Amino acid sequence: MSGGDLREIRSSDDVVRVRQEVRARAQALGFSLVDQTKIVTAASELARNTLDYGGGGTVRLIELRNGARTGLRLEFEDQGPGIPDTEQALRDGFTSGRGLGLGLGGARRLSNEFELVSQLGQGTRVSITRWK
């Protein structure tokens, strides 16, 4: 899927910038304060995963207007080592790095739609959508 705006994730400062930009977008789309906080938090988890496990990558921010519904979709992509067992990675408490192991599962719970595609040696792509 193309369209939207592409942002680099190469440092932990970029993670902060992603949070701020997602916040600004969600605000402009008229998300409630709780919904804003949920998608910003999910974005923070995924941006950090992209940086820590994927060795850096990108996020694409896409504003969705589907009839009466408004939403925000974020697509994180890296060319890192990939996730061997995605089922296990989604389970709470699983972590191969820092954090409490709530990154992927947490991001899924904070979104309305969640999609994870990972190939060993090729990289990982996570897409989340939150509707207003």
List residues near another protein by CB under 8 A. Answer: 12-13, 15-16, 19-20, 23, 33-34, 36-38, 40-41, 44-45, 48, 68, 92, 98-103, 105-106, 109-110
- Cβ nearer to another protein, comparing 11 with 122: 11
77 alpha-carbon distance from chain centroid: 9
CA distances in angstroms from 45 to 30, 65, 68, 113, listed in the order given: 22, 25, 29, 16
Q: How far is the CB of 129 from another protein (least distance, A)?
A: 16
Q: How far is the CB of 18 from another protein (least distance, A)?
A: 11
Q: How far is the CB of 125 from another protein (least distance, A)?
A: 21
Q: How far is the CB of 28 from another protein (least distance, A)?
A: 16
Q: In what order do the strands lie in the sheet with 57-66?
A: 5-9, 57-66, 69-78, 123-131, 113-119
- Cβ nearer to another protein, comparing 80 with 122: 80
Which residue matches tokens 């897409």?
127
- Cβ nearer to another protein, comparing 44 with 50: 44
- Cβ nearer to another protein, comparing 41 with 86: 41
Cα separation, 38 vs 55, in Å, equals 25
65 DSSP β-pair partners: 70
Instruction: Pull the structure tokens for residue 107.
Output: 């991001």
